[in-house]
Structure 1
Amino acid sequence: MTNSKNPAGDYNYPKKLDQKQKGIKLSVIIPTLNAGSTLNQAIESLSSAKQKGVEIEIIVVDAGSTDDTEQLALEADAKFVTSDRGRGTQLHRGAQLASGDWFLFLHADTVLTSGWDASFVVFTSHPSNAERGGVFTFALDTNDIKARLVEKAVRFRNNWLGLPYGDQGLIINKHFYNCLGGYKKWPIMEDVDLVRRIGMSRIVLFDVKARTSAKRYTEEGYIRRIARNFICLSLYFLKIAPDKIYKIYEKPVA
């Protein structure tokens, strides 16, 4: 995985960061299930890209929400479509409907922070990045010191294993995505599977944070959540079926 504190400096980027990207269209694909409490913030964080000349299409792919997710999506001028449940299935469905030159896969509880739009514009300006994937730096939306330790652990996982979380978002060229076969219709581990096909050397880590909800960590406990994530990843590498891994991931806390 390539790291860059200056996205113009390390991997064939032009130096000018304030340029506008004319004529490019970005499809943002957001899978949802009862995401009413977070969806607005996720969508609002995308608006700055329009000032860079980027046309944005937002596709919310819902798996049966019973809250106000649909209303919020439509109020934000997003396309709202339904899908069978399962994040891989939802992401796959959204990509099929997307018309943009580039895709951004984003979780509904994740907010992109200031500077993400510049990273996107510069990343997509160079032809060689059409066969790379870009991800953001993982961050949790809490001041708890334990969250900082989790963030450091994720940074290690990014740098040494080349395995970013889906919470970090993924920017990828539409043609490259399709050539790779896209997301598999899995309920879990679909993010790991796709980034492994992209390849560690072709994943670029932006020095811009994707701030995601710490709810799972605070409700379940940091140690238990970290352990569960590790177990799920280990089972994936042992070739256990994603459906079985998902049952472990979603098992209620005693």
Structure 2
Amino acid sequence: MSDKADLAKLSIIVPALNEEATIVSTLARLARFRAQGATLIVVDGSSSDATVEIARQHADLVLCTPRGRAVQMNAGASASCGALLLFLHADTALPDGADGLLGAVLCEDTKLWGRFDVRIAGRHWLLTIIAVMMNVRSRLTGIATGDQAIFVRRGTFESVGGYPAIPLMEDIALSRNLKQLRRPVCLRARVTTSGRRWEKHGVAQTMLLMWRLRFEYWAGADPWKLAKRYGYEP
């Protein structure tokens, strides 16, 4: 994806909440995409800091919605115009050459959706192992997490109703719906996501909690109750 016409087909949607410390660097890394025609949309979930003011200086559009990644990303998708939607967390960086990889996806109509491999930045040695496990599990199951920078064709996204309006596991639920149409494109290039939450709450503890919540979700537990245990506050 090297020319302006191709990048004009891409909309990058960044959900954010109280990200004033990181949003500048995140959006600065995406400036080269904007320069080639891509649309950059930040959707703020009612931040109490200066995230919105900062984002307005570096994005094409900044929206304000109630808190919740599903709500925020659906709002961004509705306001976008790209044929390919890329959902990128505010603490995640795309790899070098991501534009070319996404361009190749756009050129093949059979590639409906997909994600990148991920690495987790941080000092704890377990983060590397966790990332490897995430990538392998995703490749085997066809299920992607938001940390892996999910991308999907607009028509495909709309056909499954977008992200389900739940406060946790929205990425798993979307993947499950998309997988019924086609398995994902699993790009081996790695996005880099922050390990700050893992390290703040304890890497091993967070890993075990996520495994437990994911298992309970698959078993039919209420996502709202799971979100409260994860620390979600409406």
After TM superposition, the score normalised by the length of structure 2 is: 0.91
Query: Matched residues, percent identical?
Result: 26
Q: Distance in 2 between matches of 1:203 and 1:216?
A: 27
Q: Distance in 1 between matches of 2:42 and 2:51?
A: 9
Instruction: After superposition, give the CA deviation of every residue in 1:129-161 in whole Å (9 maximum; x if it has no partner).
Output: 2xx212111111225322111111112211222
**Aligned counterpart in structure 2 of residue 197 of structure 1, from 174, 177, 201:** 177
AA aligned to 1:33 is L
- Please tell me whether the aligned partners of residues 22 and 91 of structure 2 are also in contact (alpha carbons under 8 angstroms): yes
CA drift of 1:240 comes to: 1.3
**Which runs of structure 2 are paired with 1:228-239 in the superposition (5 Å)?**
228-239=209-220
Matched, 1:221 2:193: no
**Which runs of structure 2 are paired with 1:82-231 in the superposition (5 Å)?**
82-129=64-111, 132-199=112-179, 201-231=182-212
AA aligned to 1:230 is W
Residue 96 of structure 1 aligns to a residue whose secondary structure is helix
- Please tell me whether the aligned partners of residues 73 and 87 of structure 2 are also in contact (alpha carbons under 8 angstroms): yes
In the alignment, structure 1 segments of 5+ residues that lack a partner are 1-17
Residue 120 of structure 1 aligns to a residue whose secondary structure is helix
**Aligned counterpart in structure 1 of residue 63 of structure 2, from 78, 81, 88:** 81
CA drift of 1:22 comes to: 2.3
- Please tell me whether the aligned partners of residues 124 and 199 of structure 2 are also in contact (alpha carbons under 8 angstroms): no
**Aligned counterpart in structure 1 of residue 38 of structure 2, from 53, 56, 64:** 56
Q: Distance in 1 between matches of 2:67 and 2:59?
A: 23
Two-structure CA RMSD over aligned residues (Å)? 2.0
**Aligned counterpart in structure 2 of residue 36 of structure 1, from 17, 20, 37:** 20
Residue 56 of structure 2 aligns to a residue whose secondary structure is helix
Structure 1 stretches of at least 4 aligned residues deviating more than 6 Å after TM superposition: none
After TM superposition, the score normalised by the length of structure 1 is: 0.84
Q: Distance in 2 between matches of 1:207 and 1:20?
A: 23
AA aligned to 2:3 is K
CA drift of 1:19 comes to: 4.9
- Please tell me whether the aligned partners of residues 44 and 62 of structure 2 are also in contact (alpha carbons under 8 angstroms): yes
CA drift of 1:37 comes to: 1.6
Aligned residue for 1:68? 50
- Please tell me whether the aligned partners of residues 140 and 213 of structure 1 are also in contact (alpha carbons under 8 angstroms): yes
Residue 245 of structure 1 aligns to a residue whose secondary structure is helix
Q: Distance in 2 between matches of 1:205 and 1:39?
A: 27
- Please tell me whether the aligned partners of residues 31 and 87 of structure 1 are also in contact (alpha carbons under 8 angstroms): yes
Q: Distance in 2 between matches of 1:49 and 1:69?
A: 21
Residue 126 of structure 2 aligns to a residue whose secondary structure is helix
- Please tell me whether the aligned partners of residues 41 and 111 of structure 1 are also in contact (alpha carbons under 8 angstroms): no
AA aligned to 1:168 is Q
- Please tell me whether the aligned partners of residues 117 and 186 of structure 2 are also in contact (alpha carbons under 8 angstroms): yes
Residue 22 of structure 1 aligns to a residue whose secondary structure is helix
Residue 210 of structure 1 aligns to a residue whose secondary structure is strand
